[in-house]
Structure 1
Amino acid sequence: MDVCVLLFSLPEPLSGVIEGISAGMFLIGMLIAVISLLVYRQRVRKVAVQESPVVRMSMWKQGPTSGMYVGVRSSRRISSPVKAAHFESHLTKLQADSNYLLSEEFEDLKDVGRNQPLDAARLPENRGKNRYNNILPYDSTRVKLSYLEDDPCSDFINASYIPGNNFRREYIATQGPLPGTKDDFWRMVWEHNVYNVVMVTQCVEKGRVKCDHYWPADREPLYYGDLVVQMLSESVLAEWTIREFKISYEGRPSFPRVVRHFHYTVWPDHGVPETTQSLIEFVRTVRDYIDRAPSTGATVVHCSAGVGRTGTFMVLDRVLQQLDSIGTVDVYGCVFDLRLHRSHMVQTEYQYSFLHQCVRDVLRARKLRSEQENPLYPIYENFNPDYYRDFVYTGR
């Protein structure tokens, strides 16, 4: 009996050893699997960074003097350049599934620049100078006027410096003047050496006042503070009007300045013009005048709030220059840059989409011109030349 008990008790320690080995092998296998997963994810991240052409950032505040971004990390794109030859296919992807990717792009821009202080605009003394209480200039990019007498708030106007392709302060985006800020508007034009003013709103739209009538209605000069403004000429066209004003300082009437006023009259609030051709031709016209201006002073652009139609005009001006100079367009990057300097620039997804349509139609018009010059040039699929025949630009 003792021998039998001894024989049957031997397997017990052997089974314990086997269980221990199995547990160890399981833990080692789990460790190898975790390490392999971490290595794989790290490789995927490196490939993604190498393949992505965009720069990303977490904080969107930009120093207007240095032009440098602050707080950069790899989680936020700031540009998305597309070559002209690839733009048509790029837009097709954005518009697929009811503009799904385009909507995502626009949503991605929602909070850009919104972490900047607005202290000057929120001062009690300045609140009445803002047409809308949610459209305010950032302290870092606001346009400052000279102080008047002992008024410490007389330097404020709801206007922001906006960068262009040529200068960091190429534009001034501002709201449509109020009855109490018309003098400030003309003072800004005078003090900041402005030669061109672009207005992309009507004074009254759908029964609502969008902008005060801030210029002389006839040849009779009007006083705006210490400035005298007189209309020299007015050319009324189907979709815009071009005026010329002589502006002079009351104390120095012998040193006047001529300011051109480009008034686009067929752009509904929060909407877009009926055709891309109309706005493109207007932007081209303004750009030609700006390039011939005797000074490099900023160009003032305003609608009602100074963000939606104003931003759309500026972005279109910039991307058309990009196409002409480098053959690449970056709608997303331009809107991103503008929103660092003033909130809500290009205010609606409809306006953002319209900018892409404008670029597409310019490229199609160029394609048509090439086809006319060279009949053997390949033709776009589903392309209707009748729509674009009058849309071709020469010398571009």
Structure 2
Amino acid sequence: ALLAGSCGAPGPGPALLDVECPGEPVPTLLEVTCGRLALDDVTLFVAVLHAADPTGAPVLFLHGGPGGRAVADRHIWLAPRSPLLEHHDLVLVDQRGSGLSTPSLDCEELDAPSPDVFDAYRACRSRLTDLGVDLSRYTVTDVAADLVLLRSALGVDRWSLYGVSFGTRVTLELLRTDGSAVVSAVLDSPFPPHVDAYDSLPAGAVAAVDAAFDRCNRLDACAPDLGATLDTLLDRLDEAPTAVTTRSRSALLLDDVTFARLLTSALAHPDGPSLVPEAVVLAGAGRLAQAVAILEDLGPTGRAVGDQVSEGAQLSSECADEVPFNRFDDPPGPRPLAAAVAGAGTDVLALCRIWEVSPSSATADQPVYSEVDVLLLTGRLDPVTPTAWAGATAEHLPNALLVGSDRWTHGPSLSDTCAEGLVTAFLDGLRPDHGSGGGFDAC
């Protein structure tokens, strides 16, 4: 078992301290152990789910975000049990600033009812810096360096990597900096460093939403002209933002940017492709509160509960690693949705001016080349990491297998049994020969 040292003696450097796993125990016949790894400026919280028959390489799961979590969501792997746990120990770690790792960069100021977002981030930054937190130490490079130390502390010579969404960015950085220790890697919904995310996301989001509407029409499950309905709605909300009362907040001033943010986040949920069209119809008919309620109920992770994102960790990474390398001046295109998504990116740029962290080095914007075997999964319905990003990633990975589906949205391996099976087979050492080369018919 990993924390007991069966994968080799821990290397030199910081040592893991065994601790009790947090929260309610998850019913399982497998052994689950937890630990804390104290580094120079942070302490990482780690959980290891021990395989029934650990004959395969251990697997490090890299959560999304930035600022997501993994340890509190270990039930996702245990109940029901993931097939990955048959032969692979699974290492879950809350990346620095996130989840149960400390210091937490969670902005509790945003939890107040209807906060002024910009004032809340100012207050959060002030509180964290008063506590001595160096907000510039939460970049992808910092996260990856932590994980190299974690590998040594676990006594692992080589492991496989499994990243989802932002976790793929960290996976790619580990391939760049610690690639000799990687057996194989899975990139589910790739977010590569060399794609200018905020500049390209408007077109990608429009393509995903259009694909969702087309799919709905093919299934004869939708009202006609959904695209036109959405365009008209966003134009109306742009000209006249409307106050809406919802279950989650006392008042929400709904403009086109806010609705687009809710829409794309909801479409990233496994149930999003089915429910987003209904929300658009309701909103188009003036039933905004009902539409917002549907969209807010759909969180992109599907099965996680509670506060899932550390906003400070998110900004510290985005404002250093991604935002400085985008122009924010490209015309978003004629569609109102593209303009609204571009507006959301402009809001992030404004938040970065509040957060005040320095840009990362130019390496943070460079593609990653690796000869490690890599499986890439992408969904045509994904508005968060558009499918074009997967192709851009695979161009620099000569041993990549790119698999996509027109049924998938964001993070399909966490919700789709076919995608989950592909990941398990790949990490078991099998190489599926269907769906390669960017085809959208594998699942």
Q: What is the TM-score of this pair, normalised by structure 1?
A: 0.24
Please tell me whether Structure 1 or Structure 2 has the larger radius of gyration of its CA atoms: 1
Q: What is the TM-score of this pair, normalised by structure 2?
A: 0.22
